[in-house]
Amino acid sequence: MVGMGFWPFGRDLAEVESASRVVTAQTRDNRRVRAKLTVHFRDALTQAAADEAADRCAHLAELLFHEVPGHEDLLGNEQSIVATLTMRLPIGLPPIRNMDLAALHVVGDLSTNVRRRASTLPPPGAAGDIRLPATAPPPSGVTPYPPSATYAPPSVSYPPSALSPSVIPPSALSPSVIPPSNLSPSVIPPSNVSPSVVPSSGIPSSGIPSSGIPSSGIPPFGPQQPGSIPGPPSSVGLRSGPASVSQRRRSVSSSMRAVTASVVPPKGATTTEIGASLSPLLRDATTRLLLGFLRTHDLLTIRQVPLDEATTELLAQLLPVSEAPAGEFEASRAQEVTRWQGALGSLVMDALRAEAATLAALLTRTALAEVGLLPNLAQEVLEALCQAAFPAAEGRIGAAASVALATEQELTCEAAHSMARILDYPDVTPLETALTPLLTSVASDATVIAQMAKLSLGLSM
């Protein structure tokens, strides 16, 4: 009977978009580690196909855990593990949009559930160096682990003059010059904030900020959509200003959720090919920086929330993760960007875009050096990245980042001074406090870019 065909008995509909597995494996120092691996598929799959793909990814993660010399080399390196898994995905898997690794811990050791390893690696050749080949042969069929370790964020910065209009004209980064596909300056002021999320004290009840800008003209600030907030934080060193501490917490779940095989350059690629492939990730890092600038402005000026350690953690947790494909972060937030543009004006937004783009390039240049690229090669990769990501800037972004790197000034302090100059802030101390977790988070994005670039050049980690 034809009508019976509408009943899905015996069918497996293609409606599964993600699958999770608990991965448990024993490292070479005889410690059992466990984590939750979530695989997000580009297209909806049948349950059977999703289960098979998730099982294969989980098995790959188990083998990867086994190759590492010790459990300490895994803790806190979730982003690096995901990047390595992405590079190792076998042919034949359904297209994977991104993977998340969460709750990585040592089974039976309560202290490791809250502890994360420091970001600075031991010197090459030292015991526990994650960049060394495994001391024992890995399981059959597995290539030696080329681990992607998390490196310390940079301790250098740039003078405010490096971003002055005379160096980088704001018009070079305006929306009329660079289409959304070429620059990702989006800001994501969320819908609204509940009293349990943001302290009620210090928030004007009138809704009119002291600056005189009606609150209706500013995109409201609040929690993100489910799944957009980074996971549990870990400690990482970052030099900061006088009013902030040297150890901050950052997200360990991948903030670059749109890292897919489509943006991974092939092994042996030229620097031009690497720049073209990875430039979407640099644009998305720029987007996250600009977002952080404007959320900081929303907290300090519009809502007048006094910043302390707890508020800084809130700001770090509310940094969104792009759910859009790589390079389309801005387009996915077009409405919010337009509202901020109307509230602040084009001159301020252009200056913030230039600041965010140069800062993202600086963090990437520093990360390229941290993963071991020689200075000339690192500069060549950076120039290719900036040319592909910001073509209308005609090389000024990469040049400004190089000048900033050479000054070796304090990163957070100088970024705060630049933002204070753009937004006319009388005091930079609250900005330094707010920007520290933001720069730490985006520094981890830059590390992923640098690791992929190095592997694509055919160099081992």
Give the whole-angstrom CA distance, residue 386 versus residue 290. 17
Answer yes or no: are the C-beta atoms of 317 and 227 closer than 8 Å: no
Instruction: State the Cα–Cα distance between residues 259 and 57, nearest whole angstrom.
Output: 15
Q: Are 435 and 244 in contact (CB under 8 A)?
A: no
Q: What is the pLDDT of residue 276?
A: 92
pTM: predicted TM-score of the whole model, two decimal places:
0.49
The SS3 assignment for 29 reads coil
Q: In 3D, which of 321, 323, 328, 325 has the Cα closest to residue 179?
A: 328
CA distance between the termini of the chain? 62
Residues whose CB is less than 8 angstroms from the CB of residue 424 and which lie 6 or more positions away in sequence, other chains included? none
Rounded to whole angstroms, the Cα distance separating 150 from 447 reads 7
Rounded CA-CA distance 316/319 in Å is 6
- Give the whole-angstrom CA distance, residue 244 versus residue 191: 29
- Output the CA angle 204-207-208, nearest 5 degrees: 90
pLDDT for position 288 = 87
Residue 298 DSSP symbol: I
Report the candidate in 383, 416, 435 with the shortest Cα–Cα distance to residue 160: 416
Please state whether 127 falls in left (phi above 0), alpha (psi between -120 and 50) or beta.
beta
Question: Bridge-partner residues for 46, per DSSP?
Answer: none
Kindly list the structural domains of the chain, giving each domain's residue range(s) and its CATH number in brackets, ordered by start.
Answer: 14-150 (3.30.479.30), 160-456 (no CATH)
For residue 6, the model assigns a pLDDT of 39
Distance from C-alpha of 60 to C-alpha of 118, rounded to nearest angstrom: 25
Residue matched to tokens 């120039």? 383
Pairing mode, strands 16-26 and 32-45: antiparallel
Q: Are 435 and 312 in contact (CB under 8 A)?
A: no
CA dist 411 and 71 (Å) reads 32
Q: Are 41 and 53 in contact (CB under 8 A)?
A: yes
Per-residue pLDDT of the chain (461 residues; tens, 9 = 90+): 434 443 444 445 778 888 888 888 888 788 888 888 888 888 888 888 888 888 888 888 888 887 777 777 788 778 778 887 887 777 778 888 888 888 778 876 433 333 333 333 334 444 333 332 333 333 333 333 333 333 233 333 333 333 333 344 444 443 333 333 333 333 333 333 333 333 333 333 333 233 333 333 334 333 333 333 233 333 333 333 333 323 333 333 344 444 555 577 888 889 999 999 999 999 999 988 988 888 888 888 888 877 766 666 666 656 666 777 887 887 887 787 788 889 999 999 999 988 999 899 999 998 999 999 998 999 999 999 999 999 888 777 776 766 666 544 577 888 888 888 998 888 888 888 888 888 888 888 899 999 999 988 888 76
**Integer angstrom CA distances of residue 240 from 21, 60, 248, 315, 359:** 38, 38, 9, 16, 15
How far apart (Å, rounded) are the C-alpha atoms in residues 420 and 426?
7
CB hemisphere CA count around 170 (13 angstroms): 12
pLDDT of residue 461: 62
What DSSP letter does each residue of 104-154 carry, written as one string?
A: EEETT-GGGGT----SSPPPTTSTT-TTSPPSSPPSTT-PPP------PPP
